[in-house]
């Protein structure tokens, strides 16, 4: 009998020392809009002192726990609504239910406008170089090849030699600023349609170029003493009225 009484006393002690599930406190509640008629889905409810939090479901409901008894600070936030804080107190063996309303945020977010090109084609329909006027390529009685800045950007080209592979009849003659057009080696280089002094050793770079036009054949004589094979014209980018950036 003494043994049974001793075992019963030990079990009674273990049950009272072990944490009782019914004593685990939780905070439940619902987050609504300012009028209290519409539940807010995806609102964040957070207790900074414990690091515990939850997001509201489709009905605006949330539950945070288990928690110890004491005082806590609930922080409720959601995009488009003002952040709200609420102080609560949990008693031992008690659960707390709160009802929180969020007011719409009056401050509007900054507008960011993203502009992209709709066409995926690298085709250029006009040229200034061949006739000194903005003329459609199909109306020019010359052989003109044009490389647009979109193609150079997509290919990540940096020098004129890297662009030459896109133009038929244009080849890099040596590792320097040296090209041949239709088999004729020459230094016929134009910048915006004008003859310019070229460094024979430094290859021209392309990040500042709008496009590259190559006039093939004897028509290059339009630009004074030039190679009978053709002329390379590098058209630079023009200043814009508004600030422009790319990422």
φ and ψ of 16, to 5 deg: -85, -25
What pLDDT is stored for residue 225 in this prediction? 64
Q: Is the pLDDT of residue 132 over 70?
A: yes
What pLDDT is stored for residue 6 in this prediction? 52
Which band of pLDDT confidence, cut at 50, 70 and 90, is reported for residue 122? confident
Domain 23-101 has CATH 3.40.50.261: no
Which band of pLDDT confidence, cut at 50, 70 and 90, is reported for residue 10? low
- CA-CA distances (angstroms) from residue 119 to 116, 143, 206, 210? 9, 24, 22, 17
Sequence-separated (6 or more) residues with CB below 8 Å from residue 104: 33, 34, 80, 81, 82
Tell me: the pLDDT tens digits for 176-213? Answer: 888 888 878 777 778 887 777 777 788 888 888 988 88
What pLDDT is stored for residue 127 in this prediction? 80
- Please, what is the average pLDDT of the chain? 79
- How far is it, in rounded angstroms, from Cα 181 to Cα 235? 18
Of 45-49, 119-123, 232-236, the one with minimum mean pLDDT is 119-123
What pLDDT is stored for residue 220 in this prediction? 67
The residues with which 55 forms a beta bridge, in sequence order, are 44
- What are the sequence ranges of the domains in the chain? 23-101, 126-236
φ and ψ of 36, to 5 deg: 80, 10
Of 12-16, 58-62, 180-184, 187-191, the one with minimum mean pLDDT is 12-16
What pLDDT is stored for residue 22 in this prediction? 44
Q: Which residue has the tokens 């980018």?
A: 237
What pLDDT is stored for residue 136 in this prediction? 83
Domain 126-236 has CATH 2.170.130.10: yes
What pLDDT is stored for residue 19 in this prediction? 45
Residue predicted with more confidence, 193 or 159: 159
Tell me: the pLDDT tens digits for 210-237? Answer: 888 888 877 766 766 667 788 888 889 8
Contact predicate 6/14, CB 8 Å: no
Q: Is the pLDDT of residue 109 over 70?
A: no
């Amino acid at each position: 009998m003494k043994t049974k009484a001793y075992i019963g006393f030990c079990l009674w002690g273990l049950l009272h020392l072990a944490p009782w599930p019914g004593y685990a406190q939780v905070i439940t509640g619902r987050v609504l809009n300012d009028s209290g008629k519409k539940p807010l889905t995806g609102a964040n409810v957070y207790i900074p002192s414990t690091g515990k939090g939850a997001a509201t479901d489709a009905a605006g409901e949330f539950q945070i726990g288990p928690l110890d008894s004491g005082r806590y600070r609930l922080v409720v936030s959601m995009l488009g609504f003002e952040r709200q804080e609420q102080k609560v107190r949990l008693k031992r063996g008690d659960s707390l239910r709160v009802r929180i309303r969020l007011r719409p945020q009056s401050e509007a977010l900054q507008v960011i406008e993203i502009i992209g090109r709709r066409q995926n084609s690298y085709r250029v329909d006009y040229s200034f170089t061949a006739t000194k006027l903005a003329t459609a390529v199909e109306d020019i009685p010359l052989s003109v090849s044009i490389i647009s800045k979109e193609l150079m950007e997509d290919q990540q080209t940096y020098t004129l030699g890297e662009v030459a592979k896109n133009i038929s009849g244009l080849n890099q003659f040596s590792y320097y600023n040296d090209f041949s057009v239709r088999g004729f080696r020459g230094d016929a280089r134009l910048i915006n349609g004008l003859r310019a002094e070229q460094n024979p050793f430094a290859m021209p770079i392309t990040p500042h170029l709008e496009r590259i036009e190559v006039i093939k054949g004897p028509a290059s004589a339009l630009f004074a003493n030039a190679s009978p094979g053709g002329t390379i014209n590098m058209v630079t980018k023009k200043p814009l009225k508004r600030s422009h950036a790319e990422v």
